[in-house]
Structure formats: C-alpha cells, structure tokens
Amino acid sequence: MTDISALTLEEKARLVFGADFWTTVAIEDKGIPSAMLTDGPHGLRKQLGGSDHLGINASVPATAFPTAAATGSSWNPELLSRMGAALAVECRVEDVDVLLGPGINMKRSPLGGRNFEYFSEDPLLAGELGAAWINGLQALGVGASVKHYAANSQETDRMRVSAEVDERTLREIYLPAFERVVKKSQPATVMCSYNRINGVRASENHWLLTEVLRDEWGYEGYVVSDWGATWNPAVALTAGLDLTMPSTGKAGPAAVMAAVEDGTLDEAVLDQAVARILAVHERLRADRTAEVAFDVDAHHVLAREVAADSAVLLANEGGLLPLANEGGAVAVLGPFATAPRYQGAGSSHVVPTQLDEPLAAIAEATGRDVVHAPAFRLDGEKDDELLSVAVDAASQAEVVVLMLGLPDAVESEGWDRDHILLPRVQLDALAAVHAANPNVVVVLSHGSVVSLEGVIDKAPAILDMWLAGQAGGSALAQILFGQAEPGGRLAETVPWKLEHTPAYVNWPGGDKVVRHGERIYIGYRWYDATDREIAFPFGHGLSYTTFEHELVGIDVPAATQAAATVRVKVTNTGDRSGSDVVQVYVGDPEAAVDRPVRELRAFQKVALAAGESTVVELELDDRAFAYWGTAGWTVEPGEYVVEIGRSSRDIVATRSITLDVPPVVPTLDIDSNFGDWLEHPVGAKVLERITQSGVGDGGTDLFADEDMAGMMLQMPMVKVADFMAPGNGVQTVEGMLTELDALS
C-alpha cells in the first residue's frame, strides 16, 4: 500500500482527478501507475484516438452483449455472472481496470432515454442481477462502477434537475438495488449521478455518499463522478466523492490545494480519498492472477445464449411458435431483418466483433423457403410500393415474421422520448400484412417499453427480443424454429397508454425540478394498486412448454424474527425442456402505512426437462416484510400474505403467515399527535396521568365525550395540551417527554 504521507499536497490533489478522459493520474517515482476506466456495461467501449463520452469516435471491437433492457428479462443471475466474467476477459486483454457498469437505476417511466441500460422497474430484480454481473466481472480483477447513484431516472435536464423524493421512496425504491450490490458484491467504484437529490447535487451529497453508502451499508471502494458531474471539488470531497472524471486540467487540483491551504478542506479528507482510490486499484491488480485469453467465437456463442434467455414470448395464440422446420414459405418482413437494431446509442455504443443478420440466420436455420421484403421505411415516411411488395410476399407465404421496433434515433443517452408509440408506418404495415395473412409473428426490437395497441389484436405471436446484441439475429432464428426457447420474463410492465403510467403527470418536471409524486408506486406497484388495465404484466412470459407451481409450504422460525422459507414444487408438464421463474410476492394487508398490494421479494429461475420436477426454497429475510418509517426499517407484527406468481397479475398460490415480532414502538417527540401518545406503551401511562390530573381550565372535559376524543387522535399533543392549559402546551409536552424518558 502506498504511503500517503510520502505524497506532496500537489500529488494528492492531482490523484483525485483524471489524467485525461479515461485514465487516472500516474506518479511513477512514487510507484503509482495509471488506471483506465472505460464505458460499458453491455460491452467494452475502449476508444481509439481522441476521446469523447458519447460514442462518436471509433472504439476497439468487442462483444456487444444484449443490453440491460434485455438481460433484465432473463431473471438469471448465474447467466449475468458469466456475462460479467466474459466482459472481464475482454477488459483484461485491453488493459482496462474499471468497466463503467452496471446501470441499476429504476425505470420510473417508459420515456427514460437510458432505460435500455437499466434492468428493471423493481429494485430486488435489478439488485440481484447487478450483483451477479459485478461478481463475475470482479472475480477476474476488473472493477465495476455501479451507476448512477442515485434517483437518476431521466435524461431531460439531467445535469441540473433536482429529483424531489421523500426518504421512504428513496429507501424502498431508488436505493435498495445499490444497497444490495454494495453488500453482496462490494463494487470497486460507485458512480454518482448528475442530478440533484432534494436540492443537493449527488456529487456533493454527504448524506448519500457518506452517511448512507459508507456508514450504513459499509461500502469499501471509492466514489467516482459521472463524467462532468463535479462542480465544487472541495465540497464534493468533503461529501464523500473520491475521484473526479475526466481531467479538469490544472484547475481542479489547484482548487483542492487552495481549499486545503485556506482551511475549507481538511487535508485528512483528501488523504482518505487518495487512499481509497489507490487501495482499490492495488487490490484489482493483485486479483489478476489467472491468465485470460479472448475467445471471440466463444463470447459470441455466450451472447447468443444471453439473447435467447432474455427474449420474452408475450403471446403465442394457437401455438404458432415454434415453427416447423419444413412447410410453406416464410416471409421475413421489415428493414430490421437485414439491418438489426441490436444496441442503444450514446456512451454504451459498442463496435461488435461480428453481427448476425436475422434474415440470413433464419434462412440458415430452416429448410423452408425464406423470402424478404422491407415493408416500411425506418425514417417513418410512407412508401406504398414497399408495402405493396411486402403484402404480396405475405399473401404467398404460409407464415409471416414481421420485425418491428424503434429506430436508432428514437432512444439514446442524452434525451428522453415523448411518447411510447411504434411508428405509424409500422403499424400500418402490420395491419396490411395481417389482412393478407393472419399467421403473423411480430418480433420487437427496442430498448424501452412500447405500446402494443394495434399489435396485440393483429399478431397471434409476439416475441420481444429487446436490444439483443450482436448475436440477436441467430438467437431469433433458433427461437423461431424451436432450437432454443424464449427464456425471458418481463422486467417491467407493458402499459396500454402513456397516460396510464404512474409518473405521467410529474414527468419530466420543469424549472430544474422533477417531483416523484407517485412515491413508492412505480411500475407494477402502481398498476396493481390502481387495478389499471395493462397489456402485459411485470414477470409475464410464455414458454414452449408448460409448468405447474405448487406451494409446498412456508416455514416461519419459532423465534420472534421476521423471516420465512418458501418451498415451491415446480413441474414441467409439457413435452419438451424449458425454464420458468418462480416469483414470490409479499403483501401487508393491515399495515400502519400505505403499502403496495404486493412486492417481489424472492425469485429463482429453474430449467427442467419434460416431466421433471424440483422443489426450490426461497428465503425471505426481514426486509421482505419491512417498510421505511420514522424509526427506520420497520416490521409490524401480524398477518402477511405470501403469493407465488407467474407475474404480478398471475398469482397461482396464496398463503397467509403471521409474524410474532415485537410490536413497533413509535418514537415520541414534540410533534407527536395525541394518537401516538395513546398507542405508546409508556407514553399512554404519562398521558393517562395528565388527562386525569385536570391540568388547567380544560380539565378532563375534553375526554369525556368519545367522539371528541376520537377527533383528537390526529391532533398534535401540543395543541391538545393547549386546550387543557391554554398557552402552556409546549411546556406541558416537554414535561411529558421528560417523564417518558425517566420511565423508559
């Protein structure tokens, strides 16, 4: 470990800033090498030549894996760990120390411009997949940079906007995925976001970077800024930021030295930041003991496996899929058949090592005749001739595979969408093709949720490939002809209309403020609470086989603790092998606060041969039953509902359990109301003495009438005391609090 005391103030100040766009500062005479941080997360983006953050300049070829919008639907941590390990190999070969990923922010709205980089609308699913990705990557000595911490859900005004979020919503929705990856994976770095949180920039937020991240969660790595997210280096360092990227030239180090010299920055804080940065990179270098070699073909095969396991079969009326290998012609329609949309735009853009064309892969996968027509233009302009040729091809084919989706220009880092509709020319093409041949398989390529109005009623089969990476074309071909199964389940809800989405009236804010008025009710939590009609629910996905789930039992420990073990028997009742996801949801029907109808609290993906059964055990810890209250994480005694589901709307088994945990004792203070005192085991005794003493002119008359007493339950105790002894309410309650402390 480098001796920090041997470094000069200038050297330390330089070390907390980038040397250039992608590397840290080297001080060779002190034995400190430079480290490289490079964009991810679904592929290595190491730039050649000049550097930029938005992917304009060329980068080295690397495996373009499916984006997180796809891999989130895999519900497969083991597969994400293997993907992380493959990314680590490619980083090692290119001398990359830290890969910037994964992105685990919540999908607050389907309009989010970077939704393709994020896993889910649910923090448990995002956290589990993110932790697995990180563990796979870091096992080979390459650091992760989990991002973007925190409450970063939009691109609109992203460098200035303040996300106004109450603490309960932060704790239950926007922070748990980060907490999970910190505790399960200890990522090398955490990347702070651009936005403010309740008025304070993420890079300068001591509560976020120090009190929560380090003091509560025990984070041991270093915090790096998103590129350009640091505004005041001295304030940021004091808050808990360690490394500012990219280079600020001489300005940043000079500002830090000046702050130390004038006493506004404690040099010990600077020393701590330097020590964290150096310790992380020394540890990563020490972990690079295993030799690695980049097998380009093997990584392409893995990318194909990930794409297939992430593909979601939304509908399959009449068992249209999989297609037989022999039969009439297959019409493959749409420009995505020859120019696939396989990744998003912006800083995560990868130059693939190869790219499978869907049309060629489909033709290779079958002995059937395969014909192609573009059908529509990607620029959205109407073209009757293209459509006429496609309709003619459809009318002569036995089945149609129509590839629809969002063009590159529609979704990218840097801006949000303003609607969730597929282009009109694509919907018109589907309507015309369906009229000519009703056997239509729609294949979707997109990174953010789209409305499927005009699709569901005209496509017996709908296969969502998301942004499936460089091997998506061959994965699609294998799925269509049954050589692989679509293994995905939705990681986010598909609504009918944008107006139905929970953040609709609060998106994207204005005057540099966005209010999270929907609170904890994002995604399926909102749709289930409001019983909103949706197109497809969170967790939904079909297989080429069928499964039966049986709730075998729920074991609750005899001790008074909040925990349970759920045992579910899963049987493949079909005639071919396949995979399914056991989803466990928990609800609290008699909570002291409003809570969602159900929340995902455990899941496990299982692969079974035809006729095979297995029993899976899923553990529920105290957080599975808790909400964030005034006393922190709170589990109330009483009844909880445990549900086994195929989705948040397809519940196949329900059982109630009782937790015999200690009752919640509220904390009383000067603002507590009459009801709080009445429910407090010790406070009630103090209250009884006060009310019986007849303090002041009000005496006990206030409590003689039950209706009057009921009206006062939510009245601050100070005001109740004021009625009893006019003008002395605060003094009375302060005395009650003193007595409470003495009796407690």
Q: Provide the CATH number for the domain around residue 9.
A: 3.20.20.300
| Residues 420 and 326 both lie in one domain | yes
* Residue 451 forms part of a structural domain: yes
Q: How many CB atoms sit inside 10 A of residue 309's CB? A: 25
pTM to 2 decimal places: 0.95
* Residue 536 forms part of a structural domain: no
| Residues 617 and 495 both lie in one domain | no
Hey, what are 44's tokens? 């290595």
| Residues 380 and 494 both lie in one domain | yes
Reading across the β-sheet that carries 547-555, which strands appear in turn?
547-555, 564-572, 613-620
| Adjacent-strand bridge partners of 634 | 627
Do 341 and 407 touch, CB atoms closer than 8 A? yes
Residue 49 has pLDDT above 90, yes or no: no
Report pLDDT digits (tens) over 628-666.
Answer: 998 899 999 999 999 999 999 999 999 999 999 988 888
User: Which contiguous run of DSSP H or E holds residue 163?
Assistant: strand 162-164
Do 434 and 474 touch, CB atoms closer than 8 A? no
Burial of 664 (0-12, 13-18, 19+ CB in 10 A): middle
Residue that is written with structure tokens 């929907």 in the block: 518
Do 420 and 449 touch, CB atoms closer than 8 A? yes
Least confident of 144-148, 151-155, 234-238, 627-631: 627-631
| Adjacent-strand bridge partners of 146 | 190
CA–CA dist 607, 150 (Å, integer): 35
The three-state DSSP-derived secondary structure of 115-152 is HHHECCCCHHHHHHHHHHHHHHHHCCCCEEEEEEECCC
User: Which contiguous run of DSSP H or E holds residue 735?
Assistant: helix 729-743
| Residues 13 and 37 both lie in one domain | yes
Do 270 and 239 touch, CB atoms closer than 8 A? no
Residue 105 φ/ψ region, left for φ over 0, alpha for ψ in the -120 to 50 degree band, beta for the rest: beta
* Residue 535 forms part of a structural domain: no
pLDDT at site 486: 98
Do 42 and 469 touch, CB atoms closer than 8 A? yes
Report pLDDT digits (tens) over 526-584.
Answer: 999 999 999 999 999 999 999 999 999 999 987 778 999 999 999 999 999 999 999 99
CA–CA dist 303, 86 (Å, integer): 10
With H, G, I as helix, E, B as strand and everything else as coil, classify residue 743.
helix
Do 417 and 111 touch, CB atoms closer than 8 A? yes
| Residues 596 and 678 both lie in one domain | no
652 backbone dihedrals φ, ψ, rounded to 5°: -100, -15
Is residue 226 part of the annotated active site? The answer reads: yes
pLDDT at site 12: 98
With H, G, I as helix, E, B as strand and everything else as coil, classify residue 430.
helix
Instruction: Kindly report whether the peptide bond that precedes residue 662 is cis, defined as omega within 30 degrees of 0.
Output: no
Mention every residue, 6+ apart, whose C-beta is less than 8 A from residue 494: 314, 449, 450, 451, 452, 534, 535, 536, 537
Do 274 and 282 touch, CB atoms closer than 8 A? no
Do 703 and 676 touch, CB atoms closer than 8 A? no
Angle, CA 388 vertex, CA 363 and CA 462 arms, to 5°: 50
8 backbone dihedrals φ, ψ, rounded to 5°: -75, 165
CA–CA dist 455, 403 (Å, integer): 12
pLDDT at site 701: 56
| Residues 359 and 482 both lie in one domain | yes
| Residues 596 and 466 both lie in one domain | no
Domain end residue (candidates: 251, 286, 321): 286
Report pLDDT digits (tens) over 476-527.
Answer: 999 999 999 999 999 999 999 999 999 999 999 999 999 999 999 999 999 9
* Residue 151 forms part of a structural domain: yes
pLDDT at site 53: 53
Report pLDDT digits (tens) over 92-101.
Answer: 999 999 999 9
Residue 346 φ/ψ region, left for φ over 0, alpha for ψ in the -120 to 50 degree band, beta for the rest: left
Q: Please, what is the average pLDDT of the chain?
A: 94
CA–CA dist 33, 16 (Å, integer): 14
Residue 667 has pLDDT above 90, yes or no: no
> What percent of the chain is predicted at pLDDT more than 70?
96
Do 270 and 234 touch, CB atoms closer than 8 A? no
Confidence label for 670 from pLDDT (cuts 50, 70 and 90): very high
pLDDT at site 469: 98
Residue 711 has pLDDT above 80, yes or no: no
Domain that holds residue 718: 674-743
State the average pLDDT over residues 377-405.
97
Instruction: Kindly report whether the peptide bond that precedes residue 340 is cis, defined as omega within 30 degrees of 0.
Output: no
CA–CA dist 498, 477 (Å, integer): 32
| Adjacent-strand bridge partners of 381 | none
The structural domain count of the chain equals: 4
* Residue 124 forms part of a structural domain: yes
Domain end residue (candidates: 530, 560, 577): 530
Residue count (the chain) = 744
| Residues 512 and 560 both lie in one domain | no
Report pLDDT digits (tens) over 30-48.
Answer: 999 999 999 999 999 998 7
Do 411 and 441 touch, CB atoms closer than 8 A? no
| Adjacent-strand bridge partners of 599 | 586
pLDDT at site 660: 92
Report pLDDT digits (tens) over 323-363.
Answer: 999 999 999 999 999 999 999 888 878 999 999 999 999 99
pLDDT at site 728: 86
Q: Provide the CATH number for the domain around residue 522.
A: 3.40.50.1700
CA proximity to 442, closest of 501, 375, 497: 375
Mention every residue, 6+ apart, whose C-beta is less than 8 A from residue 249: none
* Residue 667 forms part of a structural domain: no
| Residues 484 and 518 both lie in one domain | yes
CA proximity to 143, closest of 277, 290, 299: 277
**Directed axis angle between helix 729-743 and helix 683-693, to 10°?**
130
| Residues 200 and 85 both lie in one domain | yes
Mention every residue, 6+ apart, whose C-beta is less than 8 A from residue 738: none
CA–CA dist 291, 281 (Å, integer): 18
Q: How many CB atoms sit inside 10 A of residue 396's CB? A: 14
Hey, what are 223's tokens? 């915090």
Residue that is written with structure tokens 């297939």 in the block: 308
| Residues 591 and 709 both lie in one domain | no
Buried b or exposed e, range 42-64, using 16+ CB within 10 angstroms = bbbbbbeeeeebebeeebbbbbb
Residue 695 has pLDDT above 70, yes or no: no
Mention every residue, 6+ apart, whose C-beta is less than 8 A from residue 132: 77, 78, 80, 81, 84
Choose the catalytic residue: 39, 157, 226, 242: 226
Least confident of 62-66, 167-171, 342-346, 375-379: 342-346
Q: Provide the CATH number for the domain around residue 582.
A: 2.60.40.10
Q: What single string gives the DSSP state of each residue in 232-297?
A: -HHHHHHHT--BB-S--TTHHHHHHHHHHHTTSS-HHHHHHHHHHHHHHHHHHHHTTTS-----HH
CA–CA dist 49, 23 (Å, integer): 14
| Residues 323 and 180 both lie in one domain | no
pLDDT at site 221: 98
* Residue 491 forms part of a structural domain: yes
With H, G, I as helix, E, B as strand and everything else as coil, classify residue 593.
coil
Burial of 505 (0-12, 13-18, 19+ CB in 10 A): exposed
CA–CA dist 558, 575 (Å, integer): 42
Do 187 and 223 touch, CB atoms closer than 8 A? no
Do 352 and 304 touch, CB atoms closer than 8 A? no
* Residue 90 forms part of a structural domain: yes
| Adjacent-strand bridge partners of 403 | 443
CA proximity to 234, closest of 214, 251, 212: 251
Report pLDDT digits (tens) over 242-253.
Answer: 999 999 999 999
State the average pLDDT over residues 302-311.
98
CA–CA dist 72, 194 (Å, integer): 24
Mention every residue, 6+ apart, whose C-beta is less than 8 A from residue 453: 496, 497, 535
Domain end residue (candidates: 624, 659, 694): 659
Q: How far is CA 630 from CA 178, 592, 633, 716, in A?
A: 21, 12, 8, 16
